[in-house]
């Protein structure tokens, strides 16, 4: 590339000197033009000759050679040199741009560990991550990447998982916790017991996925390659006709004029601007997405995402945390804190999710000496003696059975009624919590022209409808079994317009069939979940709903740039073709239509890489 650059500079200097000074000599000018042509274009001519031997007529090297040599033949020396010179500048720029985007993508995918330090025979050995076996102990020092998945056997540290999740806050980890390969150890030395082979570890899975993403091509890419397949031959054939027919029909028309027009055609006939800028844009889009912790498995999905009309969400774990939390405490005649304390004590020995959420909300040490007696009545609740008091904690049934005079509560969720010493003392509402940024995400999706946002859940009607209302969803279907979800998605697929797409967002664990039948299957919380990475087309590494909005923005942005490039390049090319056919434009415009358009399209495509979203 450097050599090519030097050649171009030398040729360009010679060319400009001749053009500006103009030696006014019928020999010197052409000779300098030819010398500069040979410096910059020899490689192209050589390739052209080689290819024509093999019968490759529509090869761009050949087209450029014919166009420039033809221009020399009719005495247009500056044009001939200039076309070759700028063609080479365009090529150079193109390979620079491609190289740059390749590098910037591989650098953000720079999570591949180079080695692993393994404890063998009591000593630490540096080995290839591929050679580490399950159950071995790895030592990871500060600044090193975690090479394989495992859990911490010894030590604690904070891990930078930015390359995996796009999350910039470090994650604190301690003994017994799971660590994923690809994260970077920030401070303490940790010993990790390996649980997965390198090939199955998170880091290899992610790399595999991103590297293979470009093999699934989008419609736009296929359109462009198809277009290029016909465009070049058609333009070349018209060029031949243009050179031969008009001078034959009308005697006064000079052959050289028409040949000049035909040669301009050849210059414009190269489809490179389009052919390179489209995959470059998608490549940038996929790369930019993985930087944000969004893995897109192919350009086709990026393209479809931009056309999403219906977005279907699973509830638990997707829009809600999937964890029960105390939502409300209503205390009568005692303080809220006191009520919570009594309930926490009563629930102390239970491991039910509801009990756990109560203990979490209480968050203080429980003095077990105060728990005198606890009796669980299945399906109703707990009868306990805490300290000096008889306590009842349970549902409506328990209250009725014990003839407590209580007020029924219409809150959504699981309700625990409490009675102390036979007297009603209030209630606690426990429900699955809606994710923090879920509401904003739904709102943003609507602003981005998602026509219908639907939620499917296996949960109870009142719970599902309450979540849907709080989030402002368009439709909600509740109490669905897994096959019911499939049926609903199938019927929703019929509702969308022909071009519109349906995206399903789930946690990827039990949604595999729905993910498969949707146009785009999006799985959340992909980090560490193989099932999700396997089943979905788009994987969000973290479980924030806002990432979907990011992905949507990015896909729209990419598609806008793709369309701009297609329209701009085809328009300029056709315009210059028409103008040259009528002799209104010269080979200078033709060079612009070829190289200039390439360069502009590539610069435009590179914008995707710099995307803020």
Site for other proteins (CB under 8 A): which residue of 214, 370, 437, 475?
Answer: 214
Site for other proteins (CB under 8 A): which residue of 107, 212, 336, 491?
Answer: 212
User: Least CB distance from residue 532 to other proteins, whole Å?
Assistant: 23
Residue 158, interface with other proteins (CB under 8 A)?
Answer: no
Return the range that interacts with other proteins (CB under 8 A); candidates 78-86, 150-158, 208-216, 367-375.
208-216
Catalytic residue among 149, 314, 537, 543: 314
Residues 116-135 that bind other proteins (CB under 8 A): none
Q: Do 474 and 454 touch, CB atoms closer than 8 A?
A: yes
Nearer to other proteins, 20 or 53 (CB): 53
Residue 102, interface with other proteins (CB under 8 A)?
Answer: yes
Q: List the structure tokens of 252.
A: 């006064």
Residue 211, interface with other proteins (CB under 8 A)?
Answer: yes
Residue 209, interface with other proteins (CB under 8 A)?
Answer: no
Residue 296 pairs in a beta bridge with 538
* Active-site residue, 314 included: yes
Residue in the structure block whose two tokens are 């024509």: 52
DSSP 447-508: HTT--EEEEE-SS-HHHHHHHHHHHT-SEEE-S--HHHHHHHHHHHHHHS-SS-EEEEEE-S
Q: How far is CA 103 from CA 96, 227, 241, 287, 354, in A?
A: 10, 29, 44, 11, 50
- Give the x-and-dash track for 528-547 against other proteins (CB under 8 A): --------------------
**Residue 276 three-state SS:** helix
Give the C-alpha separation, 274 to 594, whole Å: 10
Q: List the structure tokens of 172.
A: 């604190």
Q: List the structure tokens of 534.
A: 């396997």
Q: Do 335 and 479 touch, CB atoms closer than 8 A?
A: no
Return the range that interacts with other proteins (CB under 8 A); candidates 13-21, 49-57, 159-167, 361-369.
49-57
User: Least CB distance from residue 608 to other proteins, whole Å?
Assistant: 12
Give the C-alpha separation, 67 to 587, whole Å: 10
Nearer to other proteins, 435 or 573 (CB): 573
Q: List the structure tokens of 427.
A: 């209630």
Of 469, 211, 442, which is closest to residue 313 (Cα–Cα)? Answer: 442
Q: List the structure tokens of 51.
A: 């290819």
Return the range that interacts with other proteins (CB under 8 A); candidates 95-103, 153-161, 256-264, 300-308.
95-103
Nearer to other proteins, 283 or 504 (CB): 283
Site for other proteins (CB under 8 A): which residue of 17, 46, 50, 141?
Answer: 50
Residue 451, interface with other proteins (CB under 8 A)?
Answer: no
User: Least CB distance from residue 198 to other proteins, whole Å?
Assistant: 15
Nearer to other proteins, 102 or 400 (CB): 102
User: Least CB distance from residue 567 to other proteins, whole Å?
Assistant: 19
Return the range that interacts with other proteins (CB under 8 A); candidates 96-104, 197-205, 394-402, 569-577.
96-104
Give the C-alpha separation, 505 to 548, whole Å: 9
Q: Do 279 and 221 touch, CB atoms closer than 8 A?
A: yes
Nearer to other proteins, 84 or 463 (CB): 84
Give the C-alpha separation, 41 to 33, whole Å: 11
Nearer to other proteins, 200 or 411 (CB): 200
User: Least CB distance from residue 227 to other proteins, whole Å?
Assistant: 11
User: Least CB distance from residue 151 to other proteins, whole Å?
Assistant: 31
Q: How far is CA 327 from the centre of its chain?
A: 35
Residue 138 pairs in a beta bridge with 118, 192
Residue 98, interface with other proteins (CB under 8 A)?
Answer: yes
Residues 219-248 that bind other proteins (CB under 8 A): 225, 228-229
* Torsional sign, CA 580, 584, 585, 587: positive
User: Least CB distance from residue 589 to other proteins, whole Å?
Assistant: 22
- Give the x-and-dash track for 258-277 against other proteins (CB under 8 A): ------------xxx--xx-
Side-chain half-sphere CA neighbours of 511 within 13 A: 33
Residue in the structure block whose two tokens are 């800028």: 277
Side-chain half-sphere CA neighbours of 12 within 13 A: 11
Nearer to other proteins, 91 or 347 (CB): 91
Give the C-alpha separation, 170 to 162, whole Å: 8
Residues 59-88 that bind other proteins (CB under 8 A): 60
Nearer to other proteins, 156 or 563 (CB): 563
Give the C-alpha separation, 267 to 596, whole Å: 12
Q: List the structure tokens of 404.
A: 């407590």
Q: How far is CA 337 from the centre of its chain?
A: 46
Give the helix/strand (H/E) hosting 418.
Answer: strand 414-420
- Give the x-and-dash track for 548-587 against other proteins (CB under 8 A): ----------------------------------------
Nearer to other proteins, 98 or 575 (CB): 98
For β-strands 501-506 and 381-386, DSSP reports them as unpaired
Return the range that interacts with other proteins (CB under 8 A); candidates 33-41, 53-61, 327-335, 409-417.
53-61
3-state helix, strand, coil in the chain (%, to 5): 55, 20, 30
Residue 389 pairs in a beta bridge with 386
- Give the x-and-dash track for 280-319 against other proteins (CB under 8 A): x--x------------------------------------
Residue 525, interface with other proteins (CB under 8 A)?
Answer: no
Site for other proteins (CB under 8 A): which residue of 18, 65, 68, 101?
Answer: 101
Of 419, 362, 371, which is closest to residue 395 (Cα–Cα)? Answer: 419
The catalytic residue positions are 314
Binding region for other proteins (CB under 8 A): 50, 54, 56, 60, 91, 94, 98, 101-102, 211-212, 214-215, 217, 225, 228-229, 270-272, 275-276, 279-280, 283
């Amino acid at each position: 590339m450097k050599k090519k650059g030097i050649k171009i500079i030398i040729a360009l200097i010679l060319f400009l000197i001749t053009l500006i000074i103009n030696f006014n000599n019928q020999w010197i000018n052409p000779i300098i033009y030819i010398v500069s042509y040979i410096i910059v274009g020899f490689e192209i001519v050589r390739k052209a000759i080689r290819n024509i031997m093999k019968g490759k007529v529509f090869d761009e090297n050949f087209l450029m050679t014919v166009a420039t040599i033809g221009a020399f033949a009719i005495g247009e020396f500056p044009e001939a040199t200039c076309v070759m010179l700028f063609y080479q500048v365009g090529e150079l720029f193109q390979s620079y741009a491609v190289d740059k985007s390749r590098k910037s993508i591989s650098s953000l995918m720079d999570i591949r560990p180079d080695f692993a330090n393994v404890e063998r025979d009591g000593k630490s050995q540096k080995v290839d991550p591929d050679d580490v076996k399950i159950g071995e102990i790895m030592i990871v020092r500060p600044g090193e990447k975690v090479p394989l998945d495992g859990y911490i056997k010894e030590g604690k540290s904070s891990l930078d998982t930015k390359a995996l999740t796009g999350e910039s806050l470090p994650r604190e980890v301690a003994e017994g916790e799971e660590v994923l390969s690809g994260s970077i150890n920030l401070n303490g030395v940790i010993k990790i017991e390996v649980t997965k082979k390198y090939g199955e570890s998170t880091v290899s899975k992610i790399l595999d996925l991103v590297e293979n993403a470009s093999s699934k091509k989008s419609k736009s890419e296929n359109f462009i390659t198809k277009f290029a397949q016909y465009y070049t031959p058609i333009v070349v054939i018209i060029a031949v006709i243009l050179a031969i027919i008009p001078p034959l029909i009308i005697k006064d028309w000079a052959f050289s004029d028409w040949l000049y027009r035909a040669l301009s055609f050849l210059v414009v006939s190269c489809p490179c601007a389009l052919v390179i800028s489209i995959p470059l844009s998608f490549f940038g889009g996929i790369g930019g997405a993985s930087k944000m912790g969004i893995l897109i498995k192919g350009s086709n999905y990026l393209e479809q995402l931009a056309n999403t009309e219906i977005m279907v969400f699973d509830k638990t774990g997707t829009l809600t945390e999937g964890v029960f939390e105390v939502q409300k405490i209503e205390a009568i005649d005692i303080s809220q804190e006191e009520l919570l304390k009594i309930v926490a004590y009563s629930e102390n020995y239970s491991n039910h999710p509801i009990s756990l959420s109560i203990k979490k909300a209480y968050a203080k040490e429980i003095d077990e000496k105060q728990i005198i007696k606890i009796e669980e009545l299945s399906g109703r609740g707990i009868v306990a003696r805490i300290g000096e008091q008889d306590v009842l904690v349970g549902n409506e049934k328990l209250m009725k059975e014990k003839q407590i005079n209580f007020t029924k509560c219409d809150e959504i969720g699981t309700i625990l009624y409490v009675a102390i010493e036979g007297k009603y003392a209030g209630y606690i509402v426990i429900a699955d919590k809606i994710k923090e940024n879920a509401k904003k995400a739904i709102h943003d999706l609507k602003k981005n022209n998602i026509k219908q946002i639907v939620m499917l859940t296996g949960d109870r009607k009142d719970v599902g409808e309450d979540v849907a209302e709080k989030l402002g969803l368009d439709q909600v279907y509740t109490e669905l079994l897994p096959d019911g979800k499939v049926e609903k998605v199938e019927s929703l697929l019929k509702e969308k317009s022909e071009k519109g797409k349906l995206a399903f967002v789930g946690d990827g664990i039990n949604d595999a069939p729905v993910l498969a039948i949707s146009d785009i299957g999006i799985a959340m919380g992909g980090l560490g979940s193989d099932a999700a990475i396997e089943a979905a087309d788009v994987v969000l590494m973290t479980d924030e709903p806002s990432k979907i909005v990011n992905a949507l923005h990015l896909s729209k942005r990419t598609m806008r740039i793709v369309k701009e490039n297609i329209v701009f390049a085809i328009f300029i090319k056709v315009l210059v073709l028409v103008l040259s056919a009528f002799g209104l434009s010269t080979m200078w415009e033709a060079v612009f239509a070829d190289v200039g358009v390439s360069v502009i399209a590539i610069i435009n495509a590179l914008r995707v890489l710099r995307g803020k979203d």
